[in-house]
């Protein structure tokens, strides 16, 4: 396939299309499923605070860098990095950022699809009224019953992976853009409604206190590492998803009202995405923890947290069958708009190597599906088979989310801050405020790499010491 300057992948049709797609990538299971269960597991407030700091100090600047590199390169992360390395006259090895990212996205996709598969089962169950008037113990038993059934989980994992690859195969603007336009706003509205509902439950004050009361004695090196990894995970950073979406971002758009072209600002765009992502995560916590405390449940129960607590709330509220079904449909859709971006760096790379899009999607989907079987089994037959940091699922998650994403993000920051010509970065970003630009530059050069290095070192010392 020819790879001149002409894009082989298509483009977003507007700035909003990019914002929606990138928000669709960012907002997903990471916000609604993972953030609350991590916060629960790592003790609440202090974890939440470190997470928010990681988003603001490390995540946002790296996201700016990633979009900038992507838009400059205009191709899959691998080829973008090859191109930019050549332009900066440095080693081709910088393409390693692209390869490692594609691999990380691929590993995440393998387990992401399994968890998203749970939402499919919950939609089905919820719609049938399976949770009406259910007790806390009943809800837990329900979840455990699903986990014990490996065939059921495999079926849902398969269905979700097919759905993902179908959208990916349809391509950038036809497939991805259409779906998120409707779903994202809907998810917001429903989440706000649920927070209002949660505020009427007796455990609300306790839930809020759990999330925002910072008790640093509970904070371990492992928790800080998890918070950093989660910041990367939730913003889809460090693996090229945002880079490849940036590659589909136009430099200029026509203003609908005035008809004039204007530049698309990367910084304000990223600000909107990070803000929306953070609001959804906090919103999910504000729904889940009040329900936990209202029903005497454990906040630290792990990956089942979302799936045990919310059905309880839906089982108690009026019109719970409808609200609950719609909610899980939206969670499923927001997972879908994330999972398509997990495969995209690898798919885009294969397309540039000459594969047709549908075939590339098939190859990526099928391989990730096979690895995902390991995650399916981690909840039943292999539940007690643990090594390194835990089950197969926990190892894949830790390797990809806690190690590869921060490492990838650090390399992206170093490339944007130290390797690339300063004038090039400044031109591509075209920030209006020079002061803001200097802050960004200081962060990607110094703060972000040091923060990642410090967290890694701290965890390493903790592991060796403990």
29 lies in the binding site for ligand PHE (CB under 6 A) = yes
Is residue 337 a contact partner of residue 179, using CB atoms and an 8 Å limit? yes
CB neighbourhood size of 268 (10 A): 13
Binding mask 241-280 for ligand PHE (x = CB under 6 A): x---------------------------------------
Q: By CB under 6 A, name the one of 15, 18, 23, 30 that touches ligand PHE.
A: 30
Between residues 236 and 295, which has the closer beta carbon with respect to ligand PHE? 236
Q: Which of 15, 17, 19, 25 binds ligand PHE (CB under 6 A)?
A: 25
| Closest to 118 measured CA to CA, from 147, 141, 138 | 147
According to the binding rule CB under 6 A, does residue 28 interact with ligand PHE?
yes
> Considering beta carbons, is residue 31 or 375 the nearer one to ligand PHE?
31
* Residue 89 beta carbon to ligand PHE: minimum distance, rounded to whole angstroms: 30
Q: What is the number of other CB atoms lying within 10 angstroms of the CB of residue 256?
A: 7
Best CA proximity match to 328, nearest among 24, 147, 108, 124: 124
- CB-CB neighbours of 439 under 10 Å: 14
Q: Is 341 in the site for ligand PHE (CB under 6 A)?
A: yes
C-alpha span between 319 and 293 (Å, rounded): 22
Residues 6+ apart with CB under 8 A from 319: none
Q: Which is nearer to ligand PHE, 75 or 297 (CB)?
A: 75
Contact 52, 45 (CB under 8 A): no
Asked if 46 interacts with ligand PHE (CB under 6 A), we say: no
Tokens read off for 293? 């405390």
Determine, following the binding rule CB under 6 A, whether residue 108 of this chain makes contact with ligand PHE: yes
| CB of 105 or CB of 246, closer to ligand PHE | 105
User: What secondary structure letter does DSSP report for 93?
Assistant: G
Q: Which is nearer to ligand PHE, 29 or 253 (CB)?
A: 29
* 98 within 8 A of 332, measured Cβ to Cβ: no
What Cα–Cα distance (Å) separates residue 300 from each residue in 39, 139, 402, 419? 8, 16, 19, 43
Distance, CA of 251 to CA of 108 (rounded, Å): 30
Helix (H, G, I), strand (E, B) or coil at 390: strand
Name the residue nearer to ligand PHE (CB basis): 21 or 211.
Answer: 21
CB of 457 to ligand PHE, least distance (A): 24
Q: Which of 17, 20, 21, 26 binds ligand PHE (CB under 6 A)?
A: 26
Q: Which stretch binds ligand PHE (CB under 6 A): 160-168, 233-241, 300-308, 386-394?
A: 233-241
| Interacting residue with ligand PHE among 342, 346, 443, 444 (CB under 6 A) | 342
- Which residue's CB is nearer to ligand PHE, number 118 or number 233? 233
Q: Between residues 312 and 411, which has the closer beta carbon with respect to ligand PHE? A: 411
Pick the piece of the chain touching ligand PHE (CB under 6 A) from 2-10, 23-31, 243-251, 253-261. 23-31
Q: How far is the CB of 320 from ligand PHE (least distance, A)?
A: 25
**Of the candidate residues 119, 147, 295, 338, the single one contacting ligand PHE (CB under 6 A):** 338
Distance of alpha carbon 185 from alpha carbon 166, whole angstroms? 23
* Residue written as token pair 């990380």: 104
For the bound state, the minimum distance from the C-beta of residue 174 to ligand PHE, rounded and expressed in Å, comes to 20
What 8-state DSSP symbol labels residue 78?
H
d(CA 345, CA 95): 13
All residues at 6 or more sequence positions from 235 whose CB lies less than 8 Å from its CB, including other chains: 26, 55, 59, 60, 63, 242, 273, 274, 277
Task: Tell me the number of residues near ligand PHE by CB under 6 A.
Answer: 16
List residues binding ligand PHE (CB under 6 A).
25-26, 28-31, 105, 108, 233-234, 236, 239, 241, 338, 341-342
């Amino acid at each position: 396939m020819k790879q001149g300057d002409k894009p082989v992948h298509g483009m977003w049709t507007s700035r909003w299309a990019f914002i929606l797609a990138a928000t669709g990538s960012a907002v997903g299971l990471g916000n609604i499923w993972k953030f609350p269960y991590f916060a629960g597991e790592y003790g609440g407030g202090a974890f939440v605070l470190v997470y928010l700091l990681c988003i603001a100090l490390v995540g946002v600047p790296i996201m700016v860098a990633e979009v900038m590199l992507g838009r400059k390169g205009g191709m899959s992360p691998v080829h973008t990095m090859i191109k930019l390395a050549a332009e900066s006259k440095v080693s081709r090895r910088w393409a390693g950022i692209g390869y490692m990212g594609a691999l990380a996205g691929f590993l995440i996709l393998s387990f992401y699809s399994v968890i998203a598969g749970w939402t499919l089962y919950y939609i089905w169950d919820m719609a049938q009224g399976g949770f009406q008037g259910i007790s806390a113990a009943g809800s837990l038993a329900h979840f455990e019953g699903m986990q014990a059934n490996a065939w059921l989980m495999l079926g849902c994992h398969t269905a979700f992976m097919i759905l993902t690859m179908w959208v990916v195969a349809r391509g950038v603007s036809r497939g991805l853009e259409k779906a998120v336009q409707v779903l994202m706003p809907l998810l917001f509205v429903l989440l706000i409604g649920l927070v209002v509902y949660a505020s009427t439950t007796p455990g609300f004050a306790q839930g809020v206190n759990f999330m925002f009361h910072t008790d640093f004695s509970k904070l371990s090196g492992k928790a800080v590492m998890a918070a950093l990894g989660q910041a990367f995970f939730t913003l889809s950073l460090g693996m090229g998803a945002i880079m490849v979406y940036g590659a589909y971002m136009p430099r200029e758009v026509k203003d609908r009202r005035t008809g004039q072209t204007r530049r698309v600002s990367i910084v304000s765009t990223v600000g909107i995405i990070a803000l929306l992502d953070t609001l959804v995560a906090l919103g999910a916590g504000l729904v889940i923890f009040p329900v936990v405390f209202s029903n005497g449940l454990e906040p630290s129960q792990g990956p089942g947290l979302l799936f045990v607590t919310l059905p309880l709330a839906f089982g108690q509220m009026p019109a719970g069958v409808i609200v609950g079904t719609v909610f899980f449909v939206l969670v499923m859709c927001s997972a879908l708009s994330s999972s398509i971006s997990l495969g995209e760096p690898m798919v885009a790379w294969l397309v540039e190597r000459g594969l047709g899009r549908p075939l590339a999607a098939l190859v990526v989907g099928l391989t990730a599906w096979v690895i995902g079987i390991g995650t399916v089994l981690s909840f039943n037959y292999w539940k007690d088979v643990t090594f390194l940091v835990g089950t197969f699922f926990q190892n894949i998650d830790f390797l990809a989310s806690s190690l590869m994403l921060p490492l990838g993000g650090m390399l992206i920051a170093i490339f944007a801050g130290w390797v690339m010509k300063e004038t090039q970065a400044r031109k591509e970003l075209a920030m209006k405020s020079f002061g803001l630009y200097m802050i960004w530059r200081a962060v990607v050069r110094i703060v972000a790499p040091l923060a990642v290095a410090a967290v890694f070192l701290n965890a390493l010392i903790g592991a060796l010491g403990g």
